[in-house]
Structure 1
Amino acid sequence: MNSIIAIATELLKSNQSFIQFEAEMIPALAEFVCAAVSKAIEVFDDELCLGKDWTILRKDKRTIQCLFGTLVFSRRLVRDGAGKPRYPLDEALGIPKSRRYSPLLMARVASLSSHAVLRTVSRAVEAFTPGSMSFQTVDKIYQEIGEDLIEVATSKAAAPKQKNEKACTTQLFIEGDAFQVKIKHGLRVMVHRLQVSEGVILNGKRHILKQRYIISGLNRRLVFEQMSEYLDSHYDCKNTQIITGSDNGSGYEPSAFQVFSPTKEQHVHVLDAYHLNRKLKERFSLMPMPLKKRLRQAVFAADKPQVKMILDTAESMQQTEIIATTSQIISNACEIT
């Protein structure tokens, strides 16, 4: 603590603005913390090898970039009783010896890459952590995260509540979609995303999703499985109506969301507002503008009688148009004859 106070005091005296102080304090703190953690890791390595019948071959240095900074430490390479060379510390930490980044950092980068371009993620890492990362490395991590991202997401989703702590709500809203992320050499990967909430609450003029939770990944099946695990762990859905929404694309049809509902009667699927509006414009492009406006208003107001009346009118107009067109064709044919 005294060392941190001394560092902060020195930087406060040497900088004319708090912005400059903060910019220098962050790497100074990271260096201080990383030195302490690196020392703790080496002590842990000592304890792992204490009293074991292993042959110590040598000590090798290793560098791992974490969210809080870069760790540099030495750990033992040993030969165990079976004659196999290994790094006990690497195994205990669960980080393969070829990796330079911690599992949590890789998972956070991969998750952020689901919502932003690679260069933006690279700049975010540089702006909000003591380290840096090229967009090419972001791309590599994004394609390699598989197990790390699934492990983090699954551990969160499956964090079990006690049975009597499961939430009971009348409705749950689940939205799903898939989108492409461009990576290097023009290649693209498909990212799948599901979000669940208990509805919308009003905070001033802002609409906020209540108890919002998001799961995303590169494997659609795993994303759906993780959402099922989250719902099973956090909600008692026996009397809950599940309302799902999507663009009805491949893998996101109404039937795909049935896995989240206890019964078919408790499941309602809707087309999202954007695609619903686009469908209305495409399918009724030949309708008079006043009628199109009335249809859109009726649909978004859930006025079923009004919607039925407008659809009947559109069908009647279409049939009249077909009859008129057919009559004209027959008339023209008769004149030619």
Structure 2
Amino acid sequence: MEKIISKLYQIINSTNSLIDLEENVKMYMHDVFSSLLGDVFTQLDQVIKEQKQAEGWTVIRDDDKTVQFTFGGVTFRHTSMRDKSGDCRHPFDEWLGLRKHQRHSALVEVKVAEMASETDYRETARVLKEWTAVNISHTTVGSIVKRVGKAQAEADKEMVVELDEADFLPEGKKVDFLYAEADGVFVRGTKRKNSLEVRHAVVHEGWDKSGKRVSLRKPKVIMTTQPTVEFWKEVQAFTAHQYSLEDTQIVSNSDGGAGYTAEKFQEAFSQSKYPVLNQLDLYHVSQALNRAFGGGSNEFKAGVKKALKEHNKADFKLWMDTYESILEEEKGKEKLEVFRKYIEHNWERIFDWREKVENPPEDARSLGAMESNQRHVSFRMKKRGMHWSKDGGEGMVKIIQGILNGTLRDVYLKHQKRSERKQRQVKQTVRMAQILRQPTRPTIGARQGSISLYVAHSSARGQLLKSFR
């Protein structure tokens, strides 16, 4: 402690401004903690090495290893050993929870991934360097994003496998109504004229109102760039692990595009005994209406909107035919025909779900939260001409999913959690390391004694004896 205080006085004495002082103190603090933790790790490695030698392991060599923590790079000695089977292993790395060739702590990696979900890789690297002792390149940020996102993707696949292999459905929360919406958003791929579709579903239990602000109640998202079949398997597995849907009315919403049909929802929520209500998304209907009739208002557009609201097919056809008769350009007629086919193909899905159930909840609202939720993807992955590889795109959407659902850290750090047996071993190893690091050992003092010479003190031997006293 005296050494640290002296160093702080020295730093204060050698700096001319408070800014320089704080930066120098921060750097010194990082150096001190990194050095101390490195010493502790080295001592723990020695203890574990001796334990393994007692079990019959042999030492290959001792090497220095550096791991980047949030407070700096920690360098320590770790021992390469050969176990009883002849395999080369690093017992301290395994004890600590470090994977092979890991150069950044798990906390650094998950924090990098979380920051990268909000800004680009170069900016992530710059901010980390400014505010922490983590100094990494933007390419390393990209590698970490793929690794952390892969952990979330593998956890989602495990849920799918568990559901396929289970003899019975998991016991989950019971709700009267569950609301689901799904759609896709395209982002640029790394190859020319090649894009990735981010398939995205939102599941929630209803709506909460605070003043004039309305928010979804307990929303959960499922995102992936994998094929449609895999996407719907993840949706089914995720909801089956969260809810018991046997007595739940599922209300769904989509634009009816390929991969997001009513049949897909029915299959994903087949455990419910009620037919899944699937309505056509009003936002996409409004978009299609504007493409066919233009952005302004006119009597034909108003007539079609009224016919759709009242679900009057005869009036819809009348207004459509009348408007078509006054069009002169072929391009306008083509747009109108596309709109007609879109509506007629999805006619049975144009309804207000609240009119289809006997006792809708008091806080029931119309569906249509998909577009606002797509911003989590579009704001991060479509700006400034960004291009995404297959692995990078999947890693990013899984990170976004994990953050929104609050699962990312638990999924990625689950290998760090120790069992009770493992924790007992950790405590035993730490105690032994504390004993070994004691710089001095307790004593009972020096033994007192003398040897009789039986000669005169004035003699040569007597004078020598007095010189030792």
Normalization by structure 1: what TM-score?
0.66
Encode CA deviations 1:279-330: one digit per residue, 9 max, x unaligned.
222344599723324544775xxx334x5465133233157559xx9xxxxx
Determine the structure 1 residue equivalent to 2:58. Answer: 55
Identity %: 23
Determine the structure 1 residue equivalent to 2:299. Answer: 290
Aligned letter for 2:211?
A: G
**3-state DSSP of counterpart to 2:62:** strand
Aligned letter for 1:311?
A: F
2:217 maps to 1:210? yes
Map of 1:60-71 to 2, 5 A cutoff? Answer: 60-66=63-69, 70-71=73-74
Q: 1:315 aligns with which of 299, 311, 320?
A: 320
Report the Cα distance in structure 2 between the residues aligned to 1:97 and 1:44, rounded to whole angstroms.
18
Q: CA RMSD in A?
A: 4.8
2:310 maps to 1:304? yes
2:172 maps to 1:136? no
2:306 maps to 1:259? no
Alpha-carbon contact 2:189-2:196 (below 8 Å) kept: yes
Q: 2:81 aligns with which of 63, 78, 82?
A: 78
2:248 maps to 1:233? no
Encode CA deviations 1:165-212: one digit per residue, 9 max, x unaligned.
624242233434343266699996554443322222222333222112
Alpha-carbon contact 1:139-1:183 (below 8 Å) kept: no
Encode CA deviations 1:28-80: one digit per residue, 9 max, x unaligned.
77666655655565455445431332221222222333566544333211122
Determine the structure 1 residue equivalent to 2:90. Answer: 87
Report deviation, 1:239.
Answer: 2.1
Determine the structure 2 residue equivalent to 1:331. Answer: none
**3-state DSSP of counterpart to 2:201:** strand
- Residue 31 and residue 219 in structure 1: after superposition, are their counterparts in 2 closer, same or farther (change >3 A)? farther
- Residue 317 and residue 236 in structure 1: after superposition, are their counterparts in 2 closer, same or farther (change >3 A)? same
Map of 1:44-193 to 2, 5 A cutoff? Answer: 45-46=45-46, 48-49=48-49, 50=51, 51-66=54-69, 70-92=73-95, 95-103=98-106, 105-106=108-109, 109-110=112-113, 113=116, 116-123=119-126, 125-126=128-129, 130-145=133-148, 147-151=150-154, 166-180=173-187, 190-193=197-200
Alpha-carbon contact 2:69-2:104 (below 8 Å) kept: yes
Aligned letter for 1:211?
A: K
Determine the structure 2 residue equivalent to 1:275. Answer: 284
- Which deviates the most, 30-39 or 191-200? 30-39
Alpha-carbon contact 2:247-2:272 (below 8 Å) kept: no
**3-state DSSP of counterpart to 1:149:** helix
Determine the structure 1 residue equivalent to 2:208. Answer: 201
Q: Alignment length, in residue pairs?
A: 311
Report the Cα distance in structure 2 between the residues aligned to 1:227 and 1:20, rounded to whole angstroms.
53
Report the Cα distance in structure 1 between the residues aligned to 2:90 and 2:193, rounded to whole angstroms.
39
Alpha-carbon contact 2:62-2:77 (below 8 Å) kept: yes
**3-state DSSP of counterpart to 1:76:** strand
Report the Cα distance in structure 1 between the residues aligned to 2:159 and 2:40, rounded to whole angstroms.
27
- List gaps (5 residues or longer) in structure 1: 326-337
Encode CA deviations 1:222-255: one digit per residue, 9 max, x unaligned.
6544443332222121122333344555544443
- List gaps (5 residues or longer) in structure 2: 163-169, 331-469
Aligned letter for 2:318?
A: T
- Residue 169 and residue 139 in structure 1: after superposition, are their counterparts in 2 closer, same or farther (change >3 A)? same
Report the Cα distance in structure 1 between the residues aligned to 2:192 and 2:325, rounded to whole angstroms.
54
**3-state DSSP of counterpart to 2:218:** coil
Report the Cα distance in structure 1 between the residues aligned to 2:176 and 2:24, rounded to whole angstroms.
49
- Residue 74 and residue 255 in structure 1: after superposition, are their counterparts in 2 closer, same or farther (change >3 A)? farther
Encode CA deviations 1:108-148: one digit per residue, 9 max, x unaligned.
54566566543444455456654244332233333455642
Normalization by structure 2: what TM-score?
0.51
Alpha-carbon contact 2:62-2:79 (below 8 Å) kept: yes
Report the Cα distance in structure 2 between the residues aligned to 1:90 and 1:98, rounded to whole angstroms.
10
Alpha-carbon contact 1:30-1:69 (below 8 Å) kept: yes
Aligned letter for 2:173?
A: K
Aligned letter for 1:317?
A: T
- Which deviates the most, 286-295 or 78-87? 286-295
- Which deviates the most, 70-79 or 116-125? 116-125
Q: RCO (CA 8 Å, sep 6+): is it higher in 1 or 2?
A: 2
- Which deviates the most, 39-48 or 274-283? 39-48
Report the Cα distance in structure 1 between the residues aligned to 2:26 and 2:156, rounded to whole angstroms.
29
